[in-house]
Amino acid sequence: MSDQGDLVPRVEDVVAAKARLTGARATLVARPVADIADVLGRVGERFSDPGDSVRREALKELPREAVLSAELAEAVLDGMAVDWTRERISRLLAEEFEDPRVLDGADGMNGGRRLMAFGPALCVQISSGSVPGVGVNALIRSLLVKAPTLIKPGAGDVVLTRLFVDVLQDADAELGAAVEVCHWPGSDQELTSVAIEGADLVAAYGSDASVRAVRDLLPVTTRFIPYHHRVGIGLVGREVLHGAVDEVARDVARTVAMFEHRGCVCPHVVFVERGGETLPEGFAELVSGSLEALASEWPAPADADEVGTEAAEIAQARGTVEIYEAAGAARMIHGGGANWTVVFESDLVAVPPLPGRSVRIRPVDDLTEVAAILGPAGRHLQSVGYAGAEERITGLAESLGRAGASRVVPFARVSFPPAWWLHDGKGPLETLVRWVEVE
Amino acid sequence: MSTEWDALAGRLEDRFMDAADGGDRLEAWAETDFDAFARASFGWQYELCAPYRALCDRRGITPGSIGDWRDIPAVPATAFKYFDFVSIPGGWVDVDCDAVFETSGTTRGAERRGRHVVPRGSLYRASFYHPFRLALLPDLERLPMLSLIPSPAEATASSLSCMVGMAVEEFGDGVDWLVDGEGRWRDDAFDLLGAVRRSGGPVLLLGTALSFVHLIEGVEAGDVQLPAGSRVMETGGFKGARRSIARAELYARIAAHVGVEEQRIVNEYGMTELLSQMYEPVLIEGVEAQGRHVAPPWLRVRILDPTTLEERPDGNEGLIAFFDLANLGSVNHILTEDVGVIEAGRLQLLGRATGAEPRGCSRAMDDLMAGAGRVR
């Protein structure tokens, strides 16, 4: 689909790449972190500059590779590249470390506890999926903690990751030498084994099965960060179900359509409280209207194979939901030939996975019920989008946090968490480092 | 149980069993003949299967409203994971059913399984008989069998195991079950295979594509030499775009490892939700028949536009829909996720539209959340 032009690396290519990374470490760790942040920001800023050839190149390649329309690909790049600036990268450091100079070794120790934070000597990041920008984020994190990194981007994210590294290598050969991009099919366990051998830290993104496959290969001395399968949900309080409720529905629809609903932040079920002026079913209709409008603002991808595959999945899912609908257990509103589907569940039913831009709307008497409804699914919960009165949110966040959520956020900001978000509950840089204290 | 329903089932079974024309094909059915059976079956299914009737009513379709069998609503195969489609007088809670088949899990792991309740197993046997015979034994009455598919006694929920069990009963001259109900090789499996004498009479080796991969890993090329005239039935092949490549390679390796020519490897295509099967008639027609499945006359195959679900003319790719009269006890008309094309009356399978790993880290939480059971 996306990387047909790329040759799968041979075992010796991966071994050689790791040897180069090992060689690049001494230079990398000698660079002050502020200096690294500055270079990364300068490189990253080129992706949001409309006049820059790098951005144009990215926008040319992204739709085909990530299977997104040109319009949605641009929205994705804009959202992702917000964090790839000097200002935001500095802020990421500041949010994660009281004094980021702890990353600079002995030189960075100051008063109080004498602490140093070290990134892994060799880091391997194994990404997956087709959300573009995830690989660049992973690389920025790695380099900020001075970890030479071998990255395997997701199949839909190879172009952007490579492009970032190419530009980095031009801008700063020393930093560029500390990164290697290799892509191979996730099913190739041999290459995965070769890649992770000798790594101090491995981060794996993907489905539970693909993350487990990586984990099972690791020796006990290798630190492992599992970014396994995650889903999002949404909460809509009765207090916002009047007046400007269409804006809430529009925000919900945008989080559903963004990334063609392939992102771990995308909401799958939105719980809507009864008792507002707009009933939950009416809210489902408003979300449907917004999804219909988005079908022209952000068209669906045009890739013929992808469209055929998705259409087949949609036919199965909609056909099955239609039987529930016939039995009075659900109501479905969909875009016909457009790939959006909204299922309003009047009853607790098991609905098949809905492909495309799709969301389930489930009414509840009170949002406090949601944590209990989630049950064991909380282990896979990540972002909770919300629209409701501020004073209720902290209480709800506590119960959802206990149920498994790591992020509770207004719908308008669901799609693009800031660089310093607690990714699955941990600071993205802090989780990469090992602390050393001189007592 | 209703005598009228039984009478219809009996008529269908008789027609399935009478279908052989004495030659190496099944006699074609006139369209009016097929349509009459389809209408009669739909009448029962509409009356007896509540979720199906609800779907039909919602679409405003009743037994009295249809133009021909194509207007009868199709049920997506996925729906068998969520509903039990059982069409039997008296309801299946009170009537003993002959079998309850489950779909196998996929790489997606602990996902929901589809379930096909079979009230009357003799319909399955009758629809199985001639198509299997013509595909695998056009030249012989019986032959010894070796199965890489678990026995029906050990895999009661597997429609494939049930089918192999029927094959053994109807056409087998003894059988060795080489794997157990968990799919593990028996300790003596390779010894049994190696002991089949090159000088003996022909045998039939049956297995899934995956079991053949395991077989190839377990034996050296040339260690097993099945006697001349032996044949292989392979099923559940590799799905997806790379299917043809993977298949050519698989067949070459099966040929090298068990000593059966590639043109004597017969692919069977079936699914838990359908009681009828399709085969590539390579033993009769030779290698030309590879990749071109033949449907028995009581199974109609159509290719639909994936978006509009309108029927597409022959030669066009699309989703495969089956209308299987052997499914009298459930629903006849099934929409699959498989992509294919019909040319010259033969179905070419182009792969499964779904089955790839869900993209990114987004997968529906539906199965995790709603514990609701099936609807009957």
The domains of chain A, with CATH numbers, are: 11-229+424-438 (3.40.605.10), 231-413 (3.40.309.10)
The pLDDT score that the predictor gives to residue B90 is 84
Report which residue type is found at B121.
G
- pLDDT digit string (tens) for B186-196? 988 888 888 88
Of the partner residues B58, B337, B356, the one whose CB lies closest to the CB of residue A325: B58
| Residue A413 DSSP symbol | G
Percent of chain A with pLDDT over 70: 97
Please answer whether residues A136 and A84 qualify as being in contact, where contact means their C-beta atoms are separated by less than 8 angstroms: yes
In this prediction the ipTM stands at: 0.88
The pLDDT score that the predictor gives to residue B1 is 53
How far CA A146 is from CA of A19, A151, A195, in Å, comes to: 16, 14, 19
**Which segment of A94-108, A297-311, A380-394, B353-367 scores lowest on mean pLDDT?**
B353-367
**Which segment of A118-127, A338-347, B102-111, B193-202 scores lowest on mean pLDDT?**
B102-111
**Which segment of A204-213, A396-405, A423-432, B195-204 scores lowest on mean pLDDT?**
B195-204
Question: Rounded mean pLDDT of chain B?
Answer: 87
- pLDDT digit string (tens) for A151-174? 999 989 999 999 999 999 999 999
pLDDT band at residue B371 using 50, 70 and 90 as cut-offs:
very low
Q: How far does the CA of residue B70 sit from the closest CA of chain A (Å)?
A: 17
Residue B359 has pLDDT above 50, yes or no: no
pLDDT band at residue A258 using 50, 70 and 90 as cut-offs:
very high
Look at B364 and A268 and tell me if their CB atoms are within 8 Å: yes
Residue A60 has pLDDT above 50, yes or no: yes
What does chain B come to in residues?
376
Q: Mean pLDDT over residues B157-179, rounded?
A: 95
- pLDDT digit string (tens) for B81-138? 999 999 999 877 666 778 899 987 544 445 678 899 999 999 999 999 999 999 999 9
How far is the C-alpha of B133 from the C-alpha of A81, rounded, in Å? 63
| Spatial CB neighbours of A19, under 8 Å, sequence gap ≥ 6 | none
Residue of A nearest to B338 (CA): A312
The pLDDT score that the predictor gives to residue A142 is 98
Question: Rounded mean pLDDT of chain A?
Answer: 93
Residue A198 has pLDDT above 70, yes or no: yes
| A·B CB contacts under 8 A | 165
Q: How far does the CA of residue B98 sit from the closest CA of chain A (Å)?
A: 26
Closest among A14, A42, A40 to A126, alpha carbons compared = A14
How far CA A288 is from CA of A407, A417, B295, in Å, comes to: 25, 25, 42
Q: ∠ at Cα A428 (A426, A434), nearest 5°? A: 85
How far is the C-alpha of A55 from the C-alpha of B97, rounded, in Å? 64
Written as six digits, the tokens of A254 are 């945008």
Residue A13 has pLDDT above 60, yes or no: yes
Percent of chain B with pLDDT over 90: 64
How far is the C-alpha of B144 from the C-alpha of B203, rounded, in Å? 5
Please answer whether residues B280 and B360 qualify as being in contact, where contact means their C-beta atoms are separated by less than 8 angstroms: no
| Spatial CB neighbours of B241, under 8 Å, sequence gap ≥ 6 | A305, B351
Please answer whether residues A366 and A359 qualify as being in contact, where contact means their C-beta atoms are separated by less than 8 angstroms: no
Of the partner residues A130, A231, A326, the one whose CB lies closest to the CB of residue B57: A326
Among B22-36, B118-132, B231-245, name the most confident range.
B118-132
Of the partner residues A320, A327, A353, the one whose CB lies closest to the CB of residue B76: A320
Residue B243 has pLDDT above 50, yes or no: no
The pLDDT score that the predictor gives to residue B95 is 67
Please answer whether residues B357 and A209 qualify as being in contact, where contact means their C-beta atoms are separated by less than 8 angstroms: yes
Q: Which of A68, A316, A325 is the best residue to mutate to test the B interface, defined by the most B CB atoms within 10 Å of its own CB?
A: A316
Residue of A nearest to B373 (CA): A350
